Structure 1
Amino acid sequence: MELGRRALLLGTGGLLAGAAAGCSGGSRAGAEVAAATPSPVPLPTTTPWRPDRDDVNPAVKLRAVQVVEAIGGWSAGQGGAAAAKRRVAALGAAPSLVDAAGALLPAADEAALQVIDAQYGGILADSASVLVVCRQWTPGHATGTTGTTVDVRLRRARPRWEVTALHPARPGAAAPSLPAAARRVLAESRIALPPAAEADIRSGHVHESVLRALLRLAGTYRMYVSVIRSGHPLDVFGTDRPSDHPRGRAFDVWQIDGHAVVDPATSRRLVETFMRDAAAAGSYNVGGPVRLSGGAAGQFFTDDTHHDHVHAGFTA
C-alpha cells in the first residue's frame, strides 16, 4: 500500500521594511527590505510496511523491509553511515550492509522513507530476493520524487531469515530526448510509477514493446508498477538465465485498479483478465498468481515468486 500522505505546505516569506534616519549635512529616506527565511518544509509522516498475512512467507518480506526502513529513514541529527549501522545492528542484522546502501542513504540531516511495496524477485527453500520499492523525502527533496528499489537478498537462518546483501537500483542518467511512447507513459495518470521505474523510463533504456504494452493496458486498467528495469536480479532467481528486466524488456505490476495482486480479496477474475490482456498486448511470458490455460506454449506461468505480482516480458 502506498503512503496516503498529508499535503505539504510551503512557507511563504514576508517582507521586512525599515526606515533609515537622516544625518547631519543632508538627509536621505530609504527602506531596507529583507526576505524572511522560508519556513522549513516538514517531512511527511510515514508508516511501517507490513506484509499480507496470506503471502507465501510474510516473515521473509518483513525482514527485508525492516533493514531498508532502518537505513533509509531517520530523525534529525541521525544521518550518516555510522548512525545507520547502529540502527541496523539494533535489528540484529549486519552493520556492513550499510556499506552497499547507495542512494538509500543520501547525505541529509533527516529523511522519511515509505515502502510502497515489497515483492519477490525470487523465493526458494533456503534463499530469497525481495524487491523493496520505496519513496524517500529529505529536507532538500520534500516532494517525494526521490527513492529507490532495493534487491534485498536473504538466506534461511534461525531464529529468522538473514539479510545477506543489498543491491539498490541504478537507473542511469536521464536521456537528452525520449521517444513519444516514453513521454506518453510518463504523462499517463493511469500508470503509477515508483521513483526507480520512472527513472528507468527517463533513461531511455526501456524497450518500445514495454512502453506500448503499458499504454495499451492503461486504456482498461489503473496500474501500479513495481519494477521495470533497475533493482531487479540480473538473472531469473536461482538460475543462470538472464532476466528480461535488466534489458528493459519487462515490467511487473503489484496493484490493479486499486487492488493488490497479493490480496486474496482481490478478484481472481480481475487478475486473470489482466494477465490475458498483457499477453494480447504483446507479452510472450506472463506470470502471476493464477494458473491460466491457452496462449502460446509456455506463455502463461505461475509460481511462488509471482504470487504477489503480475510479470510481463517482451522480446526485442
Structure 2
Amino acid sequence: MRLPDAAPGRRAVLLAGLGCALTACSSTTTAPPNAPTSPSSRSAPMSTPSPSSTSAPMSTPAPSPGGSASPFPSPAAWQPGPGELQPDVKLRAVQVVAAVGGWPAGGQGVAAARARVAALGLDPGLAEQGGALLADAPRAALEVVYAQYGGLLADSASVLVVCRQWLAGADGAVVSAGSTVDVRLSRSAPRWTVTALHPADPGAAAAALPDPATRVLASARIVLPPAGAADVRSGQVHASVLTAMLALAGTYAFEPSVLRSGHPLLVFGTDRPSDHPQGRAFDTWRIDGHPVVDPATPAELVRSFMRDAAAAGSYNVGGPYLLPGGGTANQFFSDDTHHDHVHAGFRT
C-alpha cells in the first residue's frame, strides 16, 4: 500500500425502523464487540493495550428498572498515545468524525451536525460529507477504534478514522453500525485543517461467500472493524488476502484496521492505484494486544508479523521497520505513513 486518494463517501439515510442499513451494520446489541478471547499460540499471552493508544473500554449504564431498554454505550474520547507522529493531525481528524457521528438525544440531523463541526473551528459543510454516519436516529454514540495514517506528507495528510457507531431506537433498542472515514487535512496555522471526508462504501453483502471469507468472519483471532467486516461480506476481498489472514491467525491474534473501503484510491501523493480499493490488501494496527505504534510493543513481534505476512504471500509489506531480504525486490518497506500499522499487499 502506500496511500491513495479517496473516493467520495456514499450518502445514506438509514434506520427506517432501525434496521441494519448503515455501512457496516451488525445485529442489535447492547455492548461493543469484544476483543479476541482466544489466547495467541505465541508464548506470551495477549496484554491489555495502553489506554492512550486505543479507545478506552465502554462504560455500561445500568438497565432501566423495567429492564426493557438496552443500555446505551458511552465511549471515551480517543486520544493519541505514545509513538504517534504529529498526533494533533490525528486528533483533528478524530474530532470532526466524532462531531458528525455522535450526538445527544435530539441532536440528529445535518443542521445539528453542521453546528457541532463549526464549534471545532472547521467548515460546517464538512458535516454534509458524513455519509452513513448521519443516521436518522434520536441519539448516537461513536467510538474511534483507531486513527491510522493513509498518508503523511509535509503539507497534507490522510487519516483513516476507524469507528463504531451505536444508534438509539424509539423502542430502546441499540443498533450497532460503524464506518471508516478517510479524513483529508492540510497544514494550516495554528492547527492543521480538515478539507474533506470520504466515508467507506463497502457495498451490499454478497448472496454467497467462499470458504475463506466465512472463516475470516467467524475467527475470534481476527477482529475486523465494521467497514472491514462489510468488505468481507461484500465478496470483494480477494482470496489471497483472506487466506493470508487465516494463516497469520494461526500464530497471532490481530486487529486489521483497513481492508478495501475507506482507503484512498491512489497511493497518497502519487498517481499510482492502491491495492486496497481493489480488495488486495489489509492493514493491521494491533497484534497480540499490542498497538503497532506503541514504543512499548516488542519490535520483534512486529517484525515477525511482517515476515510472516510475506511468507503468507504478500509481495509488498510495509511497517515501522525496514526489514532486510525478501523474496522479491522491495518486498519490505518503511516510511512515516506506515509507522503506525503493518500493510500487506497482494497480487491476484
Normalising by structure 1, we get a TM-score of 0.89
Q: Which of 64, 70, 73 matches 1:41?
A: 70
SS across alignment from 1:254: strand
Distance 1:276 1:212 in 2: 16
**Cα deviation per residue 1:108-143 (whole Å; 9 max; x = unaligned)?**
111000000000000000000000000000114966
Aligned length: 292
Report deviation, 1:12.
9.9
Give the 3 Å change call, closer, same or farther, for CA 7–190 of structure 1 in structure 2.
farther
- The structural deviation recorded for 1:8 is 7.5
**Other-structure match for 1:268:** 299
Q: For 1:260, give the aligned amino acid.
A: P
Aligned to 2:198: 167
- Larger CA Rg, structure 1 vs 2: 1
Which residue is equivalent to 1:97? 126
Cα distance per residue 1:154-184 (max 9 Å; x no partner): 0000010000000000000000000000000
Q: 1:241 aligns with which of 272, 275, 281?
A: 272
CA distance in 2, matches of 1:270, 1:117: 20
| Aligned counterparts of 1:5 and 1:153: Cα–Cα separation in 2 | 28
Could you say if the C-alpha distance between residues 165 and 4 of structure 1 is closer, same or farther in structure 2, counting changes exceeding 3 Å?
same
Change in 2 beyond 3 A, CA 1:308/1:144: farther
Secondary structure in structure 1 of the residue aligned to 2:138: coil
Deviation at 1:303, TM superposition (A): 0.1
Among candidates 26, 40, 58, match of residue 5 of structure 1: 58
The equivalent residue for 2:84 is 55
| Deviations 1:157-216 (CA, angstroms, capped at 9, x unpaired) | 001000000000000000000000000000000000010000000000000000000000
Within 2, Cα distance between the matches of 1:85 and 1:12? 36
- Structure number with the bigger relative contact order (C-alpha 8 A, sep ≥ 6) is 2
Aligned twin of 2:333: 301
Please show how residues 106-117 of structure 1 align to structure 2 within 5 Å. 106-117=135-146
Cα separation, partners in 2 of 1:306 and 1:10, compared to 1, 3 Å: same
Match of 1:156 in 2: 187
Residue matched to 2:344: 312
SS of the aligned residue for 1:214 comes to: helix
SS at match of 1:113: strand
2:27 aligned residue? none
Contact 1:8–1:41 (CA<8 Å) still a contact in 2?
no
User: How far, CA to CA, are the matches of 1:193 and 1:7 in structure 2?
Assistant: 22
**Residue 73 of structure 1: which of 96, 102, 110 is its match?**
102
Gaps of 5+ in 2: 1-53
- Matched residue SS, 2:159: strand
Q: Whole-Å Cα distance in 2 between the matches of residues 142 and 167 of structure 1?
A: 29
1:139 is matched with 168
Superposed counterparts of 1:120-139, under 5 Å: 120-139=149-168
1:91 corresponds to which letter in structure 2?
Answer: L
Cα deviation 1:28-87 (Å, max 9, x = unaligned): xxxxxxxxxx73223111111011242111010000000001111110011111011101
Q: Could you tell me the TM-score, scaled by structure 2's length?
A: 0.81
Structure whose residues are more often strand by fraction: 1
Task: Give the counterpart letter for 2:346 in structure 1.
Answer: F
- 1:229 alignment partner in structure 2: 260
Q: How far, CA to CA, are the matches of 1:233 and 1:43 in structure 2?
A: 33
Question: Which amino acid in 2 is paired with 1:61?
Answer: K
Letter paired with 2:287: I
Residue 85 (structure 1) aligned with residue 138 (structure 2): no
Give structure 1 stretches of 5+ with no counterpart: 14-37
SS at match of 1:274: helix
Which secondary structure state, in structure 1, belongs to the residue aligned with residue 182 of structure 2? Answer: strand
* Deviation (angstroms), 1:2: 4.0
Aligned residues of 1:3 and 1:116 also touching (Cα < 8 A): no
Quick one: distance in 2 between partners of 1:74 and 1:208? 39
Over the aligned positions, Cα root-mean-square deviation in angstroms equals 1.6
> CA separation in 1, counterparts of 2:107 and 2:63?
24
CA distance in structure 2 between the aligned counterparts of 1:237 and 1:138, rounded to whole angstroms: 33
